[in-house]
Amino acid sequence: MNKIICNTAANGATPRLSVLIPFYKDDASALINALSAQNLSQHVEIILVDDGTGDADLTAKTSQAVMDCKPACTLITLALNQGRAKARNHLQSASKADWILFLDADMRPVKDNFLENYLSLIEANMADVFFGGFTVEAKSQNKSGELHRALSAVSDCLPLHERQAAGPQFVASSNLCIRKSVIEDNPFDDGFQGWGWEDSEWAARIASKHTLLHVDNPALHLGLESTDTLLNRFSSSGANYARFTQKHPELAKTLTLFQLSNKLKSIPGQKLIRPFLKLIVKLPFPIKARLIALKLWRASWYAEALS
């Protein structure tokens, strides 16, 4: 049975923005505290979905942060893991505002006026979807996350003008502000299972129907994964990538990853290179060499999924 803990002390007028935070085994309490400190209690509500973590200590810590939060704040704990798309759809259905902001639990606002910036954009009515972008620290605080930090820095943390030129290609749900009617009419595809590509597919799907604007309102990504986790995610997300390419074949053809995967697909026995790629990724080679090997590792598994 799902459980709900709610702090309604700040309830009153309908909020202008619902901040929605899905998480699984992440500690969201620091993010709740950071958002609460922005002092916009009358304009914002915060709703979290714990997607079946099953950790009593984490639930207790998150619940305390919810009760201490200045804005209205709700924690919904799901009994079983339902996946990223279903968790986000669950969140938006529980929200009260006409606009929603998806944030991952391992993100932190970079600016003290982070929420105020989104409220100003909403008031200006400039677009239906705003992606604020994200950034990473100059160096990972732990050695195991350094490869992920380096990958994000070169692949995801792009300047505003590059993101805007690419349109939906560099949109992620980690810091995504959406008019609620858009997500109601276009929910995330819950056919995506496990990790990856459901937010990219969603962005590609809505881009032709709604105005998407990249903005400079970043969040800091602190939840850097270990090398082993990256390898596992890339090797297990091929089915999701194939689903994305089937739904958006023309967009897929323009992406370097798709072109590389297709080239590898045509090479007999290409998967035999994986043990060597994995070795390069895990050993202390120069970071550029490890990143190349990691990208080839991902492309090799995706090539198999596209076959």
pLDDT in tens, 219-262: 999 989 999 999 999 999 999 999 999 999 999 999 999 999 99
What's the pLDDT at 82?
87
Name the segment(s) of the chain with CATH classification 3.90.550.10.
3-224
* Amino acid at position 27, single letter: D
Question: Is a pLDDT exceeding 60 seen at residue 163?
Answer: yes
Question: Is a pLDDT exceeding 70 seen at residue 11?
Answer: no
**CA–CA separation, 6 and 31 (whole Å):** 17
Angle made by CA atoms 262, 265, 269, in degrees to the nearest 5: 160
What's the pLDDT at 3?
78
Q: What is the largest CA-CA distance in the chain?
A: 64
Q: Are 113 and 215 in contact (CB under 8 A)?
A: no
What's the pLDDT at 10?
56
What's the pLDDT at 86?
87
The average pLDDT across 99-128 equals 96
Residue 103 DSSP SS3: strand
The average pLDDT across 26-36 equals 96
What's the pLDDT at 36?
95
The average pLDDT across 179-206 equals 94
* Amino acid at position 18, single letter: S
What's the pLDDT at 304?
97
pTM: 0.93
Of 1 and 250, the one with more pLDDT: 250
What's the pLDDT at 141?
77
Token pair, residue 265, equals 């697909």
Q: Are 214 and 158 in contact (CB under 8 A)?
A: no
Q: Are 156 and 134 in contact (CB under 8 A)?
A: yes
The average pLDDT across 109-131 equals 96
% of the chain with per-residue pLDDT over 90? 84
Angle made by CA atoms 189, 171, 16, in degrees to the nearest 5: 85
Question: Is a pLDDT exceeding 70 seen at residue 9?
Answer: no
The average pLDDT across 88-109 equals 94
Query: Mean pLDDT in the chain?
Result: 93
What's the pLDDT at 12?
65
Question: Is a pLDDT exceeding 70 seen at residue 268?
Answer: yes
Q: C-alpha distances in angstroms, 86 versus 79, 136, 176, 240?
A: 13, 27, 16, 15
Per CATH, the number for 3-224 is 3.90.550.10
